[in-house]
Structures are given as C-alpha cells and as structure tokens.
Structure 1
Amino acid sequence: MRRHRRGLMKRTACLLRIRCGTALSSAALFAATGAAAQNVPAPAVDAAAPVAATDQAQAAAPEQATDGKDIVVTAQFRGQRVQDTPIAITAVSGAALEARAQTSITDIGNFAPNVNIQPAYSSFGSSINAFIRGVGQNDSNFALEPGVGLYIDDIYYGATFGAVFDLTDLERVEVLRGPQGTLAGKNSLGGAVKLYSQKPDGSGDGYAEATVGSYRRIDLRAGFDLKLADDLFMRVSGVSKHRKGFVDRLDYGCVNPGEGIAASPRDGASCKIGTEGDQNLNAVRLALRYAPAGRLELNLIGDYVEDTSSSVAAKLLYADNPNIRSYVAGDPAGGVPFDSRFMTGSKSYTIYNSYSNGGNYTTVFGTPYQVVPGGFTTEPRNEVKSWGIAGTIDYDLGGGFRAKSITGYRKADGYSTTDLDGSPLDLGLNAGSFGYDQFTQELRLSAQLHDLADITVGGFYYDSSSYIRQRVEFPTVLLDFLTDDPISSTSKSLFGHAEFHLGPKLNLIGGLRYTKDRKTYQFSRRNADGSAISGVPLTTNFTVAGLDGLSSTFEGDRVDYRLGVNFRFSDALMTYAQVSTGFKGGGVNPRPYNAAQARSFGPETLTTYEAGFKSDFLGRRARLNGAVFLNKYNDIQLSLLACPDVPCALPANAGDADVLGFELEGNLEPVDGLTFAGTVGYLDFDYRRVDAATGISRDAVAPFVSRWTASGSVEYAHDLGRGRITPRIDWSYYTRFFFNADNGIGSDVPGRSLFNARLTYETADRDWSLSAGVTNIFDKFYYVGKNTNIVGYGVNQGILGRPREFSVTLKRKF
C-alpha cells in the first residue's frame, strides 16, 4: 500500500469527500417499464418480419430458452440466436433464473464472467454498483453517470435510482460485455444488462407462487394472461417481498453500561434496538398488447412500486481517530474517543449504528461543537415510491421496411438515512429525500434488403430532472447543512447500424452514433435551521459559504462507432473480430466546497479491440464460447484530492488505462437431463497515466475489478414416472477487488466462493412444483463492498453479504 500523508488539511479533504448524493431506492422489475428505450433492440425477430412472425418467434422463445441452447436475443435490433450474434453475450432464460432461485439484479453477476453487480452503500439509497470488464460507477449521485447500461423491455434507465430490480415474470436476461456505444448509446461503455419480461399473448395461462424462509421471509408472486377481445391481450403480474434484517443493531450504552454513553429508552430487557438488511417491497405491473393479424402491434405498460426496506447492512471494521471525541459539554478532554470499542467482532452480524445526532463533539480544528438546537433522530431507511408508463408502436411498412416508436415517462421519489461512522457517536449522519423523473422518445426505421443487408437508423431523445434534498452532518469538521439541489439533463442522438451479408458465411458490420448532451446542476447550501451561511472562518459550514444559488453546466458531443467482421466456418463454429467504442457522459462536481470547485468535467471513453468464437459440438450437447479483448480506457473520471483550493473532492478526467482480458462460457449435457455449465473471466488492469493530484498510484486498479471471476453449476432432472425431481448446485467465485480508486488501506474486499443448492419436485403435468433451497451453504462470512475513510476521519465499514438461508417455494401454474 502506498504511504498516506496525514496532514490536517489532507485528513479534512478526505473526510469532505462526502457522498451526499442521490438515494437509490429499491425497485422491482416492474419499476423499469416507464423509462424509455435508448436505442436498444427492436422486434424479437427479423426487423422486416411481419407482426405475425414476430409473435411466433416470441412464443417459441421460452420453449427454446429452457435448455439454454437457442435463446433468441435482440442485441443487434433483430432476433438472432446467441450463437449467431457476434457480441460477447450471456443469455439466461426465465426458467433458468427460477432454477437458480435468482430473484435480484445483484444475482446476475454470479453467472456472467467479468461482471460484478453488488448492492451499494445506503448513502445513495437502494442502489447498485454495476461493473463489466472493469468499467462502471460506484458513486450514484445524479450528477454522475453510470458505466453500465440498464434496460428493461428495451427501455433505458437514465439513473440508477431504484435499480435493485426484482427478477419477476421474465422471459430472459441478456448481459452484453464490451462497449455498446452504437447499439445502446451513452453510458454503456462497460456493457449492458437487459431484462425482458413476458409479453401478453392471450393464452389464459398464469401462476401463483409462495416462498417462506429464514429471517421470516415471505415472498408472494403471481401473474396471469387474458384475452380481452380479438387481438387484444392483457397480462398482470405482481410481487410482495418481506424479510427481517439479518444484522442486529444493538444499543451500545445497554451492552456496555458505565462507559460514558447513555442507553436509549426501550421496552423490555433486550439491548437489541432494531435490524438492518430488512426487505419490504410491493409492486404491480399491467401490460396491454394489441396485435391484429397484419402489420401493426401496440404495447402499453404501466407499473407501480413501493419499497420501504431498511438501510443496507454495514458493519464497522476500523475506528481509530482519538482526536474526535464525544464529550460532556465544557469538558472535551474527558469525552469518549472514536476507537475500536465500537467494533462488535470480525465475524458477527451485530452493529452499534445510531441514527441520532444528539451529543457534543470536538472538531478536527480543536474546537468544541455542540449539536444544539438542530439535533434530530431517525431510523435506517431506504424507501422509494415510483410509477411509470410506456407505449410502443411497431408497424410493418411492407417491402422489408419497419418503423417503431417507443415513448416513456417515469417518476420516482425516495428517502434514505445513513450512519456514516457506524457507531453510537455522531461523526457523520446523512438523511434526505431524492426524486427523479424522465421522458424519452425513440424512433427507429429498419430495413431488410433481401439477402444483402439489415439496416437500422433512428433518433433518441432523453430529458430528465432530479433533486437532492439532504441534511449533511459532519460535526467534527463543522458541517451541518441542508441541500436542495435540482439537476436537469438532456441527451439527443442519431444512430445507424448495418450488417452486410457478403455470402452465406461472411458478414461485415458497421455502426455510427452521434450524441449531444447537456447537464446543469444548481446548488443550494443553507444552515440546518434554513438560515443563510455566514462564511466566517471556523464557524459552522464556513467551507461551503458562497455556493448557495450557483449553478454549473456540462455540454458536449460525441461520435461512437463499431466495425466488425464475422465468419461462419460451419454450423457449429462462428468467429468474429471487431473494434467498438463507448463513453460515459460528463457531468458537474456535486460536492464543491467553494465556488471555484463548482465546475464540470468531461466524458470518459473506451475503445475495445475484441476477437471471439462461438461453437457447438458433440451433436450440440456441448457448447463453448470465448472472447479475448483489449480495452483502451481514456479520460477516466477520478476525484482530485489536491486542488488549488482545499478541501476538495473534484471529479476530473485524470487517468488512462489498458485492460486486457478474456472470457469463456460453456455447458455440457452428456446424457439427457444431466447438465454442467461454467464460466471464467480474467482482467488485467494497468494505468498508463494517472494525475498525481488524485493520490492514486500507477500500481492501483479501478474499483470492483477482480482479476478472476468464475461460476459453475450441475443439474440433473430425473423422471420419476409420476413427476420429475431436479437437484441443482450452483457455485460462484471472484478474487479480491477494491472499493476505492486509490486502493487505500481497508478498501479491499476479499474474494469469496459461494455455493447454493436447490431441490425441486414437479408433478407429471408440471402444474405443481415444490422446491427447497439453501443459499451460502457453508455460511461464508463475506463483504460485498466497503465505505472507507481511514485517512479522513478514521473509519471503515463493510457492506455485509447475506449468511446461510433456507427457503421452501410452492408454485402452481394454470
């Protein structure tokens, strides 16, 4: 580890690298339907196929998808088998997700190589840290852009607010690795995760499912399909998930009487005052589809989500800053220091977190600070309520031409709280509300020119507004202020994609997209009582004086391209090579500490050189796909900790890197019913340039980059005559990664290896099924992320992974 400078201003600068950004409240799959498509794939079949043919292919896809061999994907605007698509893509059917008992988007990284998707720290609400091939975003403030695109039903999510999607009523999941700048647009430079739900077809089918399990888990899921009239179909689906937290929050004063911290008032004799990691979610989705036997198809989707889950469970791992004390008024020297007494053991599911800012403190400037009269108390909360509506019009113009319009609106509001020090003291407490709404419109025109080419051109428009209203409170550095920051963003793009068929085996691919972005961030900084900040040195909030009423704007444009060739040697082997680009949008520094720091930064860009193959053999009982790639990663957005004006945590385009890697995916079915599957991924991240002002060493690696990832499974479906029984074991693995870009002390997240198992019995008619499952079989204690600020105010928290849990699921199909 590199040596850290420990001067007062350095410690203060690190402390002030506050994530007073957006809350990302949890949402189900249904939450995504109201956002708009950002130029993602169109019909599930050929772009020029009539609607009737589209219906047939979509109806066939679930049957094909169950064996994992012939899943139809739409990554290139038309329906293609995975083995015919010259992109590194992992496709998993809804049936396979169910067999694995995977119900959250954070489970997706467990089966795709070089993919890391983890729940984020709760200062951003219920959000995710999504990374593909070493590219992503671990800061979810609205001012910053994600590095992995998220889509549901070809609908783009412009923010990760509410991005912990529930995998309910899905037809398939596609994970595209590598930049998708021409196919999917901005913010997909690492790749894209696309979820596709079941469309209404009027079949009259449905299902109802109930799961009970550890920590009082009760999950209810249901969906049904109806034919309302000729050519008019409806599908309704819903989910309700409830589970108690797996981490106990203890009252420090009760557990440790006589140490200078008073116990909280409570009922009963227990020192337990609550839990973290609770889950409470309800969502419903309604889809209407009009598909007459002709050229037209209309889809209208509406949804509502209410998530009142608690904060993500975070455990204090390091506490060592004796200069910060909770003291008795008038006697700072006799106070309680912030040290290891507040740690509850390295492998226990207990914490001393407090969500109150009562008490008095010494500051890093050596002065007393009394938290009066603005004290407040709250509970660990990660809440979001959202709704959306989306409509698509798909029309066959004839002659091989097709037009499609996708329109959407989504609105979400939430509230979250975070104990940033993980102790009963009050070194840092964030509480606030967040909101986001977006309107999007996309138009596409596709053409199938006989056997010569498949071409798609179009345009995309995105308009969003959001707000951040928080009380940001760090008494040890004299900060206790209110924010009310509106952010507006627009994006416009024109795109084109073409596949030229030079014969039955050889294809050339070209794509181009032009994007123009604008984002404005307006700053509001007021004292906790709403009054204006005086700015007098060494008084509360003096470092942020002068920001109130300021605004800063980013504007820029970008051209992305894709050039590729693929050749099919036989029905069993296809190879491809391509160069593709993508970018993560620029933005505005959301955490300035003076007017000079309220400025914008540019986009980061990626160019990938990739070659791969897709193969089937042993009579299609075996499959092996692979890719090798080199990423040229430029203008990486990093935070500067050394600026002309200190303190600072200023995002800047301060680094370039090379990322070399490979991926393999395979499966084998040696006999009917017995299936083996596995993946492996490798990444070698190497900075070519990094600005010294970031404090980052050339030897560091980007956040959430594991050198190795791997997964495996074995399943055997055995026919009993009167039914079928299927045991299954899944395994996932990744090596160590870092949470912070500087790879600082304590920011490393150790690697882990997890095993899950599931046993399912189905009746002969497949109408009833009963499953028993266990996750984390060996009860591995592990972390999925960190919140590290050891150099700043001497704290390190680990975001806990879930312990071993048991469940039983009963499902009825009708």
Structure 2
Amino acid sequence: MSTTVRNLNPIAGALAVALANFSAASVMAAEAQVEKSKIEAITVTATKRSQVIYEVPIAMSAFSGDDLESQGISDITDVGKFVPNLNITGFSAGHNSSANPFIRGIGLQDHLITTDPGVSVYVDGVYLGRQVGQNWNLANIERIEVLRGPQGTLYGRNSIGGAINIITKQPDQDAVTKVSTEVGTRGRLKGSIFTNQAVSEDLAFNFNMGFNRRGGLGEFVNLPNAEYDVGENQEFHGRVSIKYNASEDLRLVFTADANDGEGGTRPYTTLIDEMPNGRLYKNGLRNTDTTIDPYDNATSTMETSTVSNKANGVSFTAEYDITADYGTKFIFSKRSSEYKAGLDDDSTAAALDHYPERGRADQTSVELQLTGYLGRADFVTGVYWFNEEGSNRQDASEASFDGGPTKLELDQETTSRAVFVNVGYDATDDLRISGGVRYTEDDKSASTNVFDPVGTIYSSREWDEISWELAANYTFESGLNWYTTVQTGYQSGQYPARPYFLIGQFFGAGGFDKQEEAAAAVRANNAFLASDNISAINYETGFKGQLTDDFSMSVAFFNTEYDDLPYQVNVVTDAGFDTNNLIVEQTSRGVEFESTYYVTDRFTVHSSFGFMDVDVQEQNGVKPVAPLTPEWTASISPSYEFELSNGAAVTARMDISYRDGMYGEPSSDPRRMTQIDDRTTTNFDISYAPVNANWDISLYGRNIFDERYDDARINTGDYILVIKSNDASEFGVRYRATF
C-alpha cells in the first residue's frame, strides 16, 4: 500500500536530502538500510519536514501516484478502502462529489456551512474548508498521506480525527508528457494529459487536464426528460503549476486549478412501511410507491434529479533559505466552490418532502513557517490565518415539507488564527524526542432563517485552545523504529445544521395570533447557539520499519478520549426536517497494522488491518454509538510480475477490501433499522508493458463481484432514508504512454 517495487539505486541520494533534519549518523544508517532493501521507503512531509515514513512518530499510511492507479483508486472515496480504521462515505445531499472521511470513529455526517469536518484535507499544504464541490480527481498526484489520530499541533483545528494530505507533482527540469485513457463498462470514459517542461534552468511548469465520465445505476422513472440517470456523473478538471528559482536560495511556485462537474443524484431510497406511525405512511404512501429497484428513483421533482459542482483556486508558495540552517516558507491560497444538489426524501412522485439545495464557500488562507537546525535540534514554527464565508439555500419556491413550502437559509463566516512551534532533538544517534504546541483562536458569525415570520436570527461565538504534543522515536539496530506519542486536538463548536426547532419556539411564544411579539420573543431567546469546543487527547505507541530486506510493517496501539463531541441527530418534527447536536464523551481504542512482504523478487503482498472499540458515555439511560464507524477494517493486495520470453512484463494485482458492519446514526437500537451490513470489494489490474517501450496497457476490474452496499441510513422518526453507494462493478481497459 505504502511501498512499491522499484529500482532503488537513486534512493540513497534522495534520502540524504529528505533526512537533513537528523544527525549525520542517522542519515547514514537510513541510507544503508534502504540500499540493501527491495522496499522503497516513501519520504513524507506529515510533520511539515521531510522524513522517511518509518521515522514519523504517528500512525500514517502513504500511497504513491502509481499505487493509486494500480489499486483501482479513482477518487478519494476509494482511499478509504485500504487504510486501517478509515471509512470514507459520499452521501451529502445526494451529491456525487462529496467526501466524508471518518478516521477512528471521528468524522462528519453533514456538509452544511455551519458544520466542520473532524478530518482535515490538505492539498499542497492548503486546507480545504468544504468537502462538497471540490476537485477530488486524483490526477497529477505525487502521493497521498493519511495521518490517523488528532493532529492539533501542526494541522490545527478540524483535525481531531486525523488529516489527509494530497501532494501534487511539482514542476522540475525533466521534460516529460504522459497521456492516459480509460474505457470501460458502465459508460466509463476517462482521459487525461500531463506535461512537465523546463522553460529555462530556473523556470519550469507542469500542466494537466482531464475528463472523467461514468454512467448511472438506475433511472428516474417519473422523469423521462431527466438529463442524467441516477448516479451518472461527468467532470472536467485542470491544473497548472509554475516554479521559478529566483535565486539559489529563493523558490517560487504558483498553482491554479479548476473543475466543473454535473450528473444525476446518487442512488437512494426511502423505507415507509417500516414506520407505520410515520407521516408518510399516514399520508397513504407505501414502499410500493417508491421503486422496486432501489437504484431507480420515483421522484417527480426535476430539481432533485441533478447535481453539479464547481471549484477553482489559486495558491502561491515561496521558500527562502535564509542560511544553510534556516529557511522560511510562505503559503497563500484563495479558493471558491459551489454546488447544487438535494433529495426528494419521500422517494415517490408525491411532492411531500423534497429539498433542492445550493451551497457555496469562499476561503482565503495564509501560512508563514520558519524552519531551522540548532546542532542536534530542529524546529518548525509559524503563524496561520484562515477565513471562510459560505451559505446554503433551500428556496421555499422549490423545497417542500409535508406538501407545503419550506425554506433554509444558512450563512456563516469563520476566521481562525494560530501560532505553532514544533521542536525535535536527537538525544542520541538512535533516540529522537520531539514536542510541539499550538494556540488557536476561532471566531464564527452565523445566521439562519427557516421561517419568515421569525426572520433571520444572528449568532456569534469565539473559542480558543492550546494543543500540544510529546513524542519519542527510537531506532533499533535492525532498523525497526519504536515510537510513543501523546497528542491533543481541538475543534471549534458547531451551530445546528437545520434549526427548525425555532419554528416550534415561535408557536410556543404566541404563534400567528401575535406574530410580531412571538417573533421578537424567539429572537430574544435565541436558541441558535453553537456547542462548546471539542477537545481530544490521544495516547499512542507503535513500531514501524523494515524488519528484513523483504518485509516492512507498522503497528499502532491507541487510546483517544474526546470531550464535547457533537453527533448529528436528524428528526422530522411538525416544523420540518430538524438536525441538532447530541453532545457526547467518546473513547476510541484499538490497533492498526500495515505490512509489505516480498515473498519473492516478483511476488509482493501488501496488507492492512484495523480493530477499534468505541465507547460512548451513556446519556439518560441510552448509550449512543459512533456513526459510520466499522469495528473491523482489513485489506490484502497480492501482486505478481511475470517476464515473458520477449522481455515484456506482465503485472497482475488484486486488491481486496473489507469494512465491518456499522450504524448510520448514533443509535444501535435494532428497531431503528439503521444498521449497515459489512462489505467486501475486490479490484484487479493486469498490465502489459513491452520491453523498452514507452507505453503499457491494462485490463482492470473494480468491485468485480458487484458488491452493493449502503453509504448511510437515517431514521427520521417518519421514515428511513437509505443512501446507496454509487459503487458498482466496472471492467475496462486503460492505456498509458510516456514521451
């Protein structure tokens, strides 16, 4: 998973640069270990400094760009199939571009602007505030790093579950052009081009663009003029990056990217008969009013049959070497994203509950880092500023609840400021000690209007927190690394996502007979309030490294405690579809294992395994559970390379992923019927590369046994909403050429 078979002759020189923050003796030891090994040790930047993955004192997985393609990973959701204790779903508002990562039982079930994810996603050091409408294609990727556990010191807010780093390929002096095409079942048509060129010794650029289309899984049976089928999607994307070496000490990189996608709502259905006391059942609707095939859809609302997403961004990075021992890095980014989506919750032709929705977000971030070396010590320190403005809209002229108009207006502005420092010290050639601290301030100003007689309600709140980390890493003579870490994380509080309880307050304060007085009373007793800040502390120890020339592994044992953690609870009330926060205390403990084993020079096996026990404190005699969190996760990926008589190479690979059963909401009551079954998905890839050729061709299969599974289940009290995965079997051919 995190390593690949490659010629390792040039690696020793690269490692000398990557490990500059260690003593000369440590660098020499690392080089010697790699020189004799068949396994490429990926260099990562998880700690904002370059390190060999084995020497990073946290649990993490890394995928190279080549690994992503050979494992059948076509988007970030697929990454969640191969990392222990990671589950990535994509169901927000029925959108095909959403990604909701859950690491060690921490994530977010929603996407509205007043909610923040518990797992942060970064692209080239730039935090993505929203996880709907972004550019999730994995073209031009150098590697992906998945950091498990709170990352509050270096990554700050919204990383209490972990962080996902996406690192793209930087421009360099190599002149190379790569093209890739993919044609397959389910209407798959995919093409991309990437080129890297040097304009001069000091100026280089790379550019990639692509198109990706996949057909649907069902039809909108009551909308013969629907533009797209259920689950169908297509997207154009592009990215350009320019690097200029202004001097020997100053390097400048400018990057711009954009994507434009659209398609049909992802598959979902509604269970009505199972809730005979629900409003849909009492209105005369039955399961037979939906569709026999859950991948079809019976809506008659055109607005909820299509989804779209657009995003664009620019970033500027400047790195300056002040001296041989001190350097600075400046990162500026500005991004915008928007989407259109929505669900017809009754899943029938009746216009009872349908919620067409639009959302947008604009963000700006600035980070300044200072790095340095003081003898056997090294440090990273910096300041960070982030601002996001966004909104969500459900227009009363389009959206309906119980057959009548409904509306949702949410606006929020978030400003975050932080200062941080991390220090490492090589106590001996084998023992490294590190620690860090981060101070964060968050300001949120939010407003909502769900009921015109009440009008817009405003609210604001500030939070601040000090996050810290202590870690030790020891390298044995065998090359095995032992580490132990205590780290904390922080997330600012959340506003209610769908505060329709404000309408109930209106009637409690007087109702329509005294509209002005009632509205004033609701505004004066504002219940649109944010929760307290979330805090986490993680105790972790583990081993990682190359035990032999043929075998590398990592194992982690962890115990993480969370305070004031909000679970989202969705309930249909007389006023509307209400989403509120259930505040809990949660403890997650478990073990994670990953390995690479070269059985022979040609036969390799990658494997991963995760087990997690999540304990949530009982509330009012009820014991909640962590939603969308499997207890067991596992994967195994054997790969074998054949050499034909003509010198050509054939590589056959299979990737099997398992995710245990889980619950779609914070309740394990079987009567609520929100349990999601376990699933096993299997991919294969067989590639043929002629000797001394610049191209290869592959036969691939994704989810070859057509395992159909649920992404989420929500019991609203009126009905059970079942969000189906957009995953299905796919077989095709991929061609790649390099010039």
Q: Under a length normalisation based on structure 1, what TM-score does the superposition of the two structures give? A: 0.80
Task: Determine if the alignment matches structure 1 residue 625 to structure 2 residue 560.
Answer: no
Structure 2: distance between partners of 1:405 and 1:709 = 38
CA contact (8 A) 1:210 1:221 kept: yes
Deviations 1:599-621 (A, max 9, x none): 12112221110010013123x21
Structure 2: distance between partners of 1:318 and 1:401 = 64
User: How far did residue 72 of structure 1 move?
Assistant: 0.3
Equivalent in the alignment of 1:497: 422
Equivalent in the alignment of 2:309: 384
Task: Determine if the alignment matches structure 1 residue 338 to structure 2 residue 285.
Answer: yes
Structure 2: distance between partners of 1:507 and 1:414 = 46
Cα distance, 1:652–1:340 mapped onto 2, change above 3 Å: closer
Equivalent in the alignment of 1:711: 635
Deviations 1:54-98 (A, max 9, x none): xxxxxx9xx99x976311001112111111111101011111111
Structure 2: distance between partners of 1:317 and 1:554 = 39
> 1:243-282 maps to which residues of 2 (within 5 A)?
243-251=214-222, 266=224, 275-282=229-236
CA contact (8 A) 2:267 2:297 kept: no
User: How far did residue 653 of structure 1 move?
Assistant: 6.3
> 1:460-499 maps to which residues of 2 (within 5 A)?
460-471=384-395, 477=402, 480-499=405-424
**SS of residue matched to 2:79:** helix
User: How far did residue 101 of structure 1 move?
Assistant: 2.1
User: How far did residue 640 of structure 1 move?
Assistant: 6.9
Structure 1: distance between partners of 2:111 and 2:323 = 44
User: How far did residue 320 of structure 1 move?
Assistant: 4.7
Structure 2: distance between partners of 1:323 and 1:606 = 40
User: How far did residue 234 of structure 1 move?
Assistant: 0.7
Q: Say which of 531, 534, 543 aligns to 1:601.
A: 531
User: How far did residue 471 of structure 1 move?
Assistant: 2.4
Equivalent in the alignment of 1:591: 498
Matching residue's letter, 1:82: I
Matching residue's letter, 2:44: V
User: How far did residue 652 of structure 1 move?
Assistant: 4.5
CA contact (8 A) 1:115 1:132 kept: yes
User: How far did residue 644 of structure 1 move?
Assistant: 14
User: How far did residue 382 of structure 1 move?
Assistant: 1.8
Matching residue's letter, 1:550: I
User: How far did residue 560 of structure 1 move?
Assistant: 0.4
Structure 1: distance between partners of 2:568 and 2:687 = 49
Equivalent in the alignment of 1:180: 151
Cα distance, 1:648–1:380 mapped onto 2, change above 3 Å: closer
CA contact (8 A) 1:317 1:798 kept: no
Matching residue's letter, 2:18: V
Cα distance, 1:389–1:67 mapped onto 2, change above 3 Å: farther
User: How far did residue 274 of structure 1 move?
Assistant: 5.7
User: How far did residue 115 of structure 1 move?
Assistant: 0.3
Equivalent in the alignment of 2:298: 353
CA contact (8 A) 2:246 2:252 kept: no
**SS of residue matched to 1:802:** coil
Structure 1: distance between partners of 2:85 and 2:39 = 20
Q: Say which of 437, 447, 470 aligns to 1:563.
A: 470
**SS of residue matched to 1:277:** coil
Cα distance, 1:766–1:733 mapped onto 2, change above 3 Å: farther
Structure 2 residues not aligned, in runs of 5+: 1-15, 23-30, 503-521
Equivalent in the alignment of 1:573: 480
User: How far did residue 242 of structure 1 move?
Assistant: 1.2
Equivalent in the alignment of 2:186: 215
CA contact (8 A) 1:383 1:414 kept: yes
CA contact (8 A) 2:591 2:612 kept: yes
Equivalent in the alignment of 2:64: 93
Cα distance, 1:425–1:724 mapped onto 2, change above 3 Å: same
Cα distance, 1:409–1:660 mapped onto 2, change above 3 Å: same
Equivalent in the alignment of 1:132: 103
Q: Pick which of 274-283 and 737-746 moved more.
A: 737-746
User: How far did residue 565 of structure 1 move?
Assistant: 1.2
User: How far did residue 99 of structure 1 move?
Assistant: 1.1
Equivalent in the alignment of 1:10: none
Structure 2: distance between partners of 1:781 and 1:464 = 37
CA contact (8 A) 1:146 1:584 kept: no
Structure 2: distance between partners of 1:67 and 1:603 = 47
User: How far did residue 413 of structure 1 move?
Assistant: 2.2
Task: Determine if the alignment matches structure 1 residue 665 to structure 2 residue 631.
Answer: no
Matching residue's letter, 1:746: M
Structure 1: distance between partners of 2:90 and 2:307 = 12
Q: Say which of 382, 390, 393 aligns to 1:458.
A: 382
Structure 2: distance between partners of 1:403 and 1:479 = 58
User: How far did residue 277 of structure 1 move?
Assistant: 0.7
Equivalent in the alignment of 2:5: none
CA contact (8 A) 2:419 2:440 kept: yes
CA contact (8 A) 1:189 1:584 kept: yes
Q: Pick which of 638-647 and 154-163 moved more.
A: 638-647
User: How far did residue 313 of structure 1 move?
Assistant: 1.4
Equivalent in the alignment of 1:20: none
Deviations 1:486-523 (A, max 9, x none): 21110000000011110101111111000000111122
Equivalent in the alignment of 1:52: none
> 1:176-325 maps to which residues of 2 (within 5 A)?
176-251=147-222, 266=224, 275-291=229-245, 294-320=248-274
- Give the length in aligned residue pairs: 686
Structure 1: distance between partners of 2:129 and 2:601 = 44
Cα distance, 1:67–1:316 mapped onto 2, change above 3 Å: farther
**SS of residue matched to 2:322:** strand
Equivalent in the alignment of 2:509: none
Structure 2: distance between partners of 1:640 and 1:245 = 30
CA contact (8 A) 2:431 2:475 kept: yes
**SS of residue matched to 1:578:** strand
User: How far did residue 351 of structure 1 move?
Assistant: 2.4
User: How far did residue 554 of structure 1 move?
Assistant: 2.2
User: How far did residue 711 of structure 1 move?
Assistant: 0.3
Structure 1 residues not aligned, in runs of 5+: 1-42, 50-59, 252-263, 328-332, 357-376, 527-532, 534-544
Q: Pick which of 677-686 and 516-525 moved more.
A: 516-525
Task: Determine if the alignment matches structure 1 residue 45 to structure 2 residue 31.
Answer: no
Equivalent in the alignment of 2:113: 142
Q: Say which of 598, 608, 612 aligns to 2:542.
A: 612
Q: Say which of 509, 517, 527 aligns to 2:434.
A: 509
Structure 2: distance between partners of 1:640 and 1:226 = 52
Deviations 1:244-296 (A, max 9, x none): 21122323xxxxxxxxxxxx6x58xxxx9962111110011110001256111
Cα distance, 1:77–1:48 mapped onto 2, change above 3 Å: same
User: How far did residue 230 of structure 1 move?
Assistant: 2.5
Equivalent in the alignment of 2:508: none
Percentage of identical aligned residues = 26
Q: Say which of 381, 389, 394 aligns to 2:319.
A: 394
Structure 2: distance between partners of 1:641 and 1:223 = 44
Cα distance, 1:303–1:468 mapped onto 2, change above 3 Å: same
User: How far did residue 642 of structure 1 move?
Assistant: 10
CA contact (8 A) 1:47 1:402 kept: no
Equivalent in the alignment of 2:667: 742
> 1:540-559 maps to which residues of 2 (within 5 A)?
545-546=453-454, 548-559=455-466
Cα distance, 1:562–1:167 mapped onto 2, change above 3 Å: same
Structure 1: distance between partners of 2:173 and 2:200 = 9
User: How far did residue 343 of structure 1 move?
Assistant: 4.6
Equivalent in the alignment of 2:345: 420
Structure 2: distance between partners of 1:404 and 1:95 = 28
Structure 1: distance between partners of 2:182 and 2:132 = 27
Matching residue's letter, 2:465: R
Structure 2: distance between partners of 1:186 and 1:554 = 16
**SS of residue matched to 1:185:** coil
**SS of residue matched to 2:239:** strand
User: How far did residue 406 of structure 1 move?
Assistant: 0.3
Matching residue's letter, 2:622: S
User: How far did residue 800 of structure 1 move?
Assistant: 2.9
User: How far did residue 316 of structure 1 move?
Assistant: 3.3
User: How far did residue 235 of structure 1 move?
Assistant: 0.3
Deviations 1:161-211 (A, max 9, x none): 324611111111101101100011111111111111111113110111111
Q: Under a length normalisation based on structure 2, what TM-score does the superposition of the two structures give? A: 0.87
Equivalent in the alignment of 1:431: 356
Task: Determine if the alignment matches structure 1 residue 675 to structure 2 residue 608.
Answer: no
CA contact (8 A) 1:106 1:164 kept: no
